[in-house]
Amino acid sequence: MSTSHIEEETVTYTIDSGVAWVKFNRPEKRNAMSPALNRRMLEVLDALEFHPEVGVLVLSGEGSAWTAGMDLQQYFRDTEAHGLAGTRQAQRESYGWWRRLRWYEKPTIAMVNGWCFGGGYGPLFACDLAFAAEEAKFGLSEINWGILPGGGASKVAVELLSFRRAMYHAMTGEPIDGATAAEWGLVNEALPLAQLQARVAEVAALLLEKNPIALKATKDALRRVREMTYDNAEDYLVRAQEAANSRDDSGRHEGLRQFLDEKRYKPGLGAYDR
Ligand code: ACO
């Protein structure tokens, strides 16, 4: 299916030194996620997932927002005008790319430059790591317009926050700033907006040094074992490592060789030379 020029512009990206910098690009609408943006984002993720020049994907927003959540006009009001079929299609399109991002082949980083509301918690959680501007504002604002935090947002809140904080956050709809989001565990770190991109580039560079197959196995493992018993997790991890070995059996041997035989590096302090 062809994509219109306007739809195409809802997401932009550039590739630089192994990093795909992807941006929500509806700054005039605070990067609210419209059906067009959701469709386009899936196409962009498709294009980048196995791109040979991409080792890490960073998701940020153009202008003052990361994303102001679902587009209340186009995602809710307009699609509801088409009945349940319209609603379900819009949900498939948004949940679809968030799910895709949760299990993405490459490591992913949310670079939250500004507003992040409601539905924005889907892609926020989907990214493996998250860094925010101290100036950013996060909120489960659903309650402020009369709905519950759906589309996974309630699940994200209880996954990432303490139960009491999640309840307060969801029931009051009160926004918190980036520093509080870091303190609460919604993001890894918060720093002044002016320093945000440099810090994310530094973390991306660190990830680029690692074995990519081990990284994919690691990020999947951490998401999977959250819902397992200890014994099931132990078993899953043995099998996941063996599956990773079948894709790359030389990496770990090389890592051991450089440490044990060549005494060239210390695994406790950094990655082996790939
Ligand atoms: N859906 C649709 N349009 C939006 C959204 C949204 N989520 N957020 C902003 N816009 C539009 C505004 O309607 C406005 O459009 P207009 O210029 O055509 O009138 C434009 O973006 C700019 O918005 P302002 O409100 O003027 O921007 P400001 O910087 O002052 O405020 C803020 C930003 C705080 C993000 C505000 O726009 C807002 O509260 N947006 C809604 C946030 C929200 O609750 N999102 C839904 C979460 S629930 C869910 O996702 C399921």
The DSSP-derived string for 86-137 is HHHHHHHHHHHHHHHHHT-SS-EEEEE-SEEEGGGHHHHHHSSEEEEETT-E
CA distance 231 to 237: 10
pLDDT at 3 over 80: no
Mean pLDDT along residues 38-48: 98
Please work out whether the CB of residue 117 comes within 6 Å of at least one atom of ligand 1: yes
Nearest CA to ligand 1 atom 14: 29
- Residue pLDDT, tens place only, 229-255: 999 999 999 999 999 999 998 999 999
**65: how many CB neighbours lie within 10 A of its CB?**
24
CA 138 from chain centre, in angstroms, equals 15
Give me the pLDDT at residue 5, please. Answer: 78
Mutate to test the pocket of ligand 1, among 31, 72, 125 (most ligand atoms within 8 A of CB): 72
pLDDT band at residue 2, thresholds of 50, 70 and 90?
A: low
- Under the banding of pLDDT at 50, 70 and 90, the label for residue 188 is very high
- Kindly report the average pLDDT of the chain as a whole number: 97
ipTM over 0.90: yes
> Region 178-189: what's the mean pLDDT?
98
Q: Which residue puts its alpha carbon closest to atom 31 of ligand 1?
A: 30
CB 116 within 8 A of CB 141: no
- For the Cβ of 118 lying below 6 angstroms from any atom of ligand 1, the answer is yes
* Neighbouring-strand partners of residue 23: 12, 60
Q: What is the distance in A from the centroid of ligand 1 to the CA of 88?
A: 23
Cα 121 to averaged position of ligand 1 atoms, centre (Å): 16
pLDDT score at 6: 87
Residues of the chain with pLDDT > 70, as a percent, come to 99
